[in-house]
Structure 1
Amino acid sequence: MEWKGRSALVTGSSRGIGKSTALALARRGMRVYAGVRSAEDGERLRAAAETITAIRLDVRELPDVKAAAARIEAEVGESGLDVLVNNAGAVAMAPIEHVTPDELRNLFEVNVLGQVAVIQAMLPLLRRAGGRIVNIGSDAAKFTLPLTGPYGSAKAAFEAIAVALRREVRAQGVTVVAFQPGSVNTRLWDRIVADLRAGRGSWSGHPDYQAFAAGVAAVAERGRHQGRSPEAVAEEVVRLVSMRRPPVLRRLGWDARMRSLIIDLLPARAVDNMIIKSLTAHGGRRTAHAPESR
């Protein structure tokens, strides 16, 4: 693939997978539009690579999305946009009994509605270039642990949307790829572990959920220390962008593939028993790696 002269938009580029992906594409000569939510994040990216253009992009804000599309169109013109990496995301953990409407609404605004808004705004530009969409997903959509239902439900909703999109736009020359990177070592794990262990949240003192909180915290801590680096994930995104015929779904690493096989091959009750037992035994020490998070 000839990288120079090509353009990409990466959402959620302030840190983690998004930042590493923006830098990896820029290093290969692409003109990268990096969606960030603060001027400071944008300055750091611009200082790291001269072919990066940082743009304010909170995917929950439709004016931001429209302004980003207008700016990109003005600069790329009839060449269009070659790549869209939908990476922006949010995570929240709570039992279904106690998740608040605001928490659930924010998860769906970021992980579903915001993603759709970006796709709708960028699709005319992607069509011009015969471009590619890479959606950063999570196997939490299928392998849903207790307390991760709000996050998993948002990921599952967008997964269904992305499958329909893939089939709708293939004849228009636009390729859609789903990418599940498995456990990733990002700073997000620190906040998750701290919140669970500090008992933050109105539900945290409820005895029915304390064992799950300890187990999920242990799983999240392993994800923080044993997960692959954001840079390794970014290199796989680069590979998916450069392949002539990429897979429709790419799972990175044995952990993501194993969790999917468990769900597909074992009876649902057996999976329930395995997850509940492993999370509630010794703070979840026997549990497999956590689903991916940014």
Structure 2
Amino acid sequence: MSNQRAVLVTGTSSGLGEATALSLARAGFVVYAGVRSQQSAAHIAAGHPAIRPVILDVTVQESIVDAVRRVREETGGAGLHGLVNNAGICVPAPLECVPLDELRAELEVNLIGTIAVTQQFLPLLRMRPAVAPAPGPVGRIVNISSGIGRVAAPFLGAYAASQFAKEGVSDALRRELAPLSVSVSVVEPGAIMTPIWSKVASTASRIVEAAPEEVAAQYRSRFDGFIALNDKRARASKTSPDAVARVIGHAMTAKRPRTRYRVGPDSWGAAMAARLLPDRALDAVIRGQFPAGKPAAPPHRDTDDVPGAQRQGTAR
């Protein structure tokens, strides 16, 4: 391999990952682009000659190990300059409706997958000092989070759980790796129209319609309004995947990468609101952004249908 620095980016089949892979390749990096299918591999490889697709499923340990083996063999003693943990999914629904298997999948991809990939690639990120010492950290990790990782929106509780956790993990990792000359940065994009958000409406509909009707009815009006507003905001956003790719480029090249990069006015606004507003005030601001709607009346239940009703009485 040449003296070009190598980076690995997960989740590059579309959206932020694809934009990041292309941007880093154009900046002179060799980019190992993690994808889950041969079709996606062919697509991303066509974008730039410096992009090398790697079949990588962040939820499968064998897939991660295979990717590490390939990168190690191809980079030799040069190791890996950077790792961008971008792969992610979004499970949108009222938390009362979220199937636990869907919640586990959310955490498995967005949180556990990030940790699993980082654990396996860290030895390669620590290799470079003896080979190519340079100003700044020897290795660099960038974890893609979200403004939702600072302020949890209603109906995105599962997604927020994964992103809040990723923020905490990134803080701990940054403090653990600083003495080893490996930097850790978090990128917090605001609303962007990418495939992850374009899938939200269909995923939301599927989950809510599968919930018991007496539960779904309590949320449907507000949830439908939230989904419509979320789609409108994403489509109207001036923040682009290229803007996110640029800050990732800074984290990969700066002598002193920032610990956090907020991209988009809504991401900055969420960070400021979380810092300055009391919880109740922040709740009121968020509540005012979404249509109130009216929950359906709960189905009538006779007293005899309620376990222990005769024993407990009807006091409220």
What amino acid is the match of 1:266? L
Q: 1:201 aligns with which of 189, 195, 209?
A: 209
**2:245 corresponds to which of 234, 249, 254:** 234
Cα distance in structure 2, aligned partners of 1:94 and 1:82? 38
What letter matches 1:202 in structure 2? A
Aligned to 2:125: 126
TM-score with structure 1 length normalisation?
Answer: 0.90
Match of 2:222 in 1: 212
CA distance in 1, matches of 2:212, 2:153: 16
Distance 1:156 1:59, change over 3 A: same
Q: What TM-score results when the alignment is normalised by the length of structure 2?
A: 0.84
Query: 3-state DSSP class of the match of 1:104?
Result: helix
Letter in 2 for 1:240: A
Structure 2 regions of 5+ residues with no counterpart? 129-137, 295-316
Tell me the alpha carbon deviations over residues 21-80 of structure 1, each in whole angstroms, 9 at most, x when there is no partner. Answer: 011111122111000011011111112211111011010000000000111011112111
Tell me the number of residue pairs that the alignment of Structure 1 and Structure 2 aligns.
281
- Residue 291 of structure 1: aligned partner: none
Deviations 1:208-236 (A, max 9, x none): 21233123213321233122221222122
Note closer, same or farther for the CA distance 1:70–1:109 as it changes in structure 2 (3 Å cut): same
Distance in 1 of aligned mates of 2:176 and 2:293? 47
2:163 is matched with 155
TM-aligned CA deviation for residue 198 of structure 1: 7.8
Provide the rounded CA distance (Å) in 2 between the counterparts of 1:200 and 1:165. Answer: 36
Q: Give the counterpart of 1:178 among 173, 186, 190.
A: 186
- Give the match's secondary structure for 1:89: coil
Where in structure 2 are the equivalents of 1:6-155 lying within 5 Å? 6-129=5-128, 130-155=138-163
1:189 deviates by 2.5
Q: Which amino acid aligns with 1:160?
A: G
Q: Secondary structure at the match of 2:258?
A: coil
Moved >4 Å (runs of 4+): 194-200
CA distances 1:251-271 after superposition (whole Å, capped 9, x unpaired): 112210111111221111121
Q: Is the 8 A contact 1:12 1:36 kept in 2?
A: yes
Specify the SS of the correspondent of 2:209.
coil
Match of 1:223 among 227, 233, 248: 233
- Partner Cα separation in structure 1 for residue 155 and residue 55 of structure 2: 32
For the residues of structure 1 that align with 2:203 and 2:145, how far apart are their CA atoms? 23
Aligned residue identity for 1:9: L
For 1:110 and 1:195, locate their aligned partners in 2 and report how far apart those are by CA, in whole Å. Answer: 16
Following superposition, the deviation at residue 197 of structure 1 comes to 6.3
Identity of aligned residues (%): 37
Q: Which amino acid aligns with 1:6?
A: R
Is the 8 Å Cα contact of residues 183 and 223 (structure 1) preserved in structure 2? Answer: yes
Change (3 A) 1:204 1:22: farther
Equivalent pair of 1:142/1:156 in contact (CA under 8 Å): yes
Counterpart for residue 192 of structure 1: 200
Q: Take 1:197 and 1:223, find their aligned partners in 2: how far apart are those partners? A: 19
Q: Secondary structure, in 3 states, of the residue corresponding to 2:141?
A: strand
1:288 is aligned to none
Unpaired runs of 5+ residues, structure 1, are: 284-294
One-letter amino acid of the counterpart of residue 147, structure 1: F
Letter in structure 2 aligned against 1:225: R
Structure with bigger gyration radius: 2
- Aligned partner of 2:258 in structure 1 is 247
Cα distance in 1 between the residues matched to 2:63 and 2:292: 46
Q: Which amino acid aligns with 1:47?
A: A
**Equivalent residue of 2:142, what SS?**
strand
Partner SS for 1:208: coil
Question: How far apart, in 1, do the equivalents of 2:280 and 2:261 lie?
Answer: 27
Tell me the distance in 1 between the aligned counterparts of 2:62 and 2:205.
Answer: 38
1:196 Cα deviation after fit: 4.3
Distance 1:75 1:167 in 2: 30
